[in-house]
Amino acid sequence: MNQIDLNEKVAVITGGAQGIGLAIAERMLDSGASVSLWDRDQKLVEETARSLESRGKAEAVVVDVTDLDSVKSATEKTKTSMGSIDILVCNAGIAGPTVKVWEYPPEEWQQVIDIDLTGVFYCLHTVSPVMIEQNYGRIVNVASVAGKDGNPNAAPYSAAKAGVIALTKSLGKELASYDIAVNCITPAAAKTRIFDQISQQHIDYMLSKIPRNRFLKVEEAASMVTWLCSAENSFTTGGVFDLSGGRSTY
């Protein structure tokens, strides 16, 4: 495993209690960073933070990314306890039901959009000024290949992730005059607890689209995200990095 230098950096990872977020936290701790795990599941995030203590400094912050006041409070708490926020990984998300557009419950649509898109905006809206003030930051938003291709029976998820890609490009341009890089990744599906929300038929569909004929490993996502959050990534911003196993080539 390559050693990526994140020494003395502070990373916020939303949805950091499990899955891809947890893998990113582990890799960043191993790279010398301190991590602040933002998650709405208090019991799980506190257990996760305790389990990471042997790797380095990790704290648990209970936050609802759909609530702007909650995000503002989490930002202030992390700044106070950790001293700064150098890295932000917007990873929190849900899949929502696998239903056709004309059958999709509007309230379920709204929940997916609120968490997967508006929640990312709230975090960027709140943390960007911290990075501007210190003239340094690295931001990675976790989008999805669904945001490029549009998965059937997953319209709100696909729409939200497409929005995250566009949001990344916009903010990357807005922050280009600072030493702040804003990029996103577009992974294919990884076997995490998000699969619990998806039908087996939809899981089979996603696998059938991946030329490598397997799902993404969370450690593979963590490797790419960690490098994108390093000082070495000093020029690329507004970029979209595929982790699709060959499914998406543009």
DSSP conformation letters of 68-81: HHHHHHHHHHHHHH
Q: Which of 122, 157, 178, 250 is catalytic?
A: 157
Rounded distance, CA 112 to CA 159, Å?
Answer: 9
Residue 99 corresponds to which tokens in the numbers above? Answer: 């239903």
104 is catalytic: no
Place of tokens 């949805």: 15
What contacts 206, CB < 8 A, 6 or more positions away?
Answer: 151, 188, 189, 215
Rounded distance, CA 199 to CA 190, Å?
Answer: 15
Place of tokens 């019991």: 43
The side-by-side arrangement of strands in the sheet containing 10-14 is 58-62, 34-39, 10-14, 87-90, 137-142, 180-187, 240-243
Residue 188 corresponds to which tokens in the numbers above? Answer: 């294919």
Residue 25 corresponds to which tokens in the numbers above? Answer: 């936290």
CA distances (Å), 49 to each of 34, 58, 176, 181, 213, in order? 11, 5, 33, 27, 33
Residue 141's DSSP bridge partners are 90, 184
Alpha helices per DSSP H over 114-244: 119-134, 146-149, 155-174, 200-208, 218-228
Which residues are known to be catalytic?
Answer: 157
